[in-house]
Structure 1
């Protein structure tokens, strides 16, 4: 039976941030910043893949994810849930079960043998697909999956990221111009707010993280990292 708890978005964001801290998925390191795959230099790193190992947490987050898309998009707006290789696949399975919908998954590229499939599962032409990922920074990987689904005849107007960086204006532009409404539960601002409230890092670290979240590209450029976000 499908179910959803319609808490206020701010409450869901706060609770997810607490969950991420509780399981050790959040890392702050301004003195030895992380260099991300994009080339961005960042004092923050998050590992949302850990969520699959905590049944109570992942079940609650699926309640939250279902609530967000039902409240924001509608109750009969989707025919299928799609997960992107690899991190989005388990969350697509969890959310499809919660919403009582079929599931597919999308490879980063066609597998290169057999039927050379990029999409696994049954995707009828015209099916309205909700794409889910564990997190999105600027939407690049999500749109790789969205474009593959559209090319196969699916319709994608909504995406769900459990965690959204929420600090890049370029990301908002990408989703807007791509015709996709992005739904999400928590952002880095939620994570930092909990860290400040609970004293989870020293003041210098909190200030450095805050400076990065306010001006991420300036922070990265000053440390030899990515100078312009490629979307």
Structure 2
């Protein structure tokens, strides 16, 4: 298994880290955008990411997995197969025909569900999935994320009974990329300032 430092470089080289004045969710601007969707085209990078997530998951009691749609679903699927752990899928919207389910898969009430997410910023998308799982009687106490942008989302989730464990924090990631010569000190300062200024104290 590659190191966390090596994985950061692999993710950067795969195009998962985009720099510039980028429009993010809900029209917000950001100097850095983490797009984990690209790893579906890089199986080696995906597998390396999954191995690190699985190591973290092994320390958390869970019966099933659920990836937040859509970016984290491939990660959760590979984790499910590798660890022989059942998985459920949350739909963006409930089907308007047949079973009309919002949650797909086989599960039982009171099972512990570990949620997998690519990025947490405000925490809104992750909490939406947590609420849907809890509404079906599943117990959710932990979530694994590849990147915590350190903009308040983890605190929002903690206030709602979910402990977030991250493979990378934004501070850690940009330091690793700077030390490897992938980004400049000026870029690090711009991103650090953005993190400090743009904080979310509630879901947004």
Q: Distance in 2 between matches of 1:210 and 1:194?
A: 14
Confirm or deny: 8 A CA contact 1:18 1:191 kept in the other structure. no
User: Aligned pair in 2 of structure 1 residues 62, 202: CA closer, same or farther (>3 Å)?
Assistant: closer
Write out aligned runs for 1:77-226 (5 A): 77-165=61-149, 167-168=150-151, 170-217=152-199
Unaligned runs of 5+ in 2: none
Contact 2:115–2:143 (CA<8 Å) still a contact in 1? yes
Q: Distance in 1 between matches of 2:168 and 2:6?
A: 9
CA contact (8 A) 1:25 1:47 kept: yes
Aligned to 1:223: none
1:47 aligns with 2:35: yes
- The answer on whether the counterparts of 2:156 and 2:202 sit within 8 Å (CA) in structure 1 is no
What is the alpha-carbon distance in structure 1 between the residues aligned to residue 109 and residue 158 of structure 2?
24
Contact between 1:44 and 1:209, CA under 8 Å: does it hold in 2? yes
Verify the 8 A CA contact 1:64 1:185 in the aligned structure 2. Answer: yes
Per the normalisation by structure 1, the TM-score is: 0.79
**Aligned equivalents of 1:158, 1:101: Cα separation in 2:** 16
Give, in whole Å, the separation in 2 of the partners of 1:19 and 1:189. 17
Q: 1:57: how far off?
A: 1.7
Secondary structure of the 1:38 match is helix
**SS of match in other structure, 1:138:** coil
**CA drift at 1:82:** 0.9
Please identify, of 195-204 and 94-103, the stretch whose mean Cα deviation from structure 2 is larger. 195-204
2:53 match: 65
Q: 1:207 to 1:173 in 2, by over 3 A?
A: closer
Find the counterpart in structure 2 of residue 220 from structure 1: none
Q: What TM-score, normalized by structure 2, do the two folds share?
A: 0.89
Contact 2:175 2:188 in 1 (8 A): no
SS of the residue corresponding to residue 123 of structure 1 reads: coil
| Structure 1: tracts of 5 or more residues without a match | 218-227
Match of 2:193, SS state, is helix
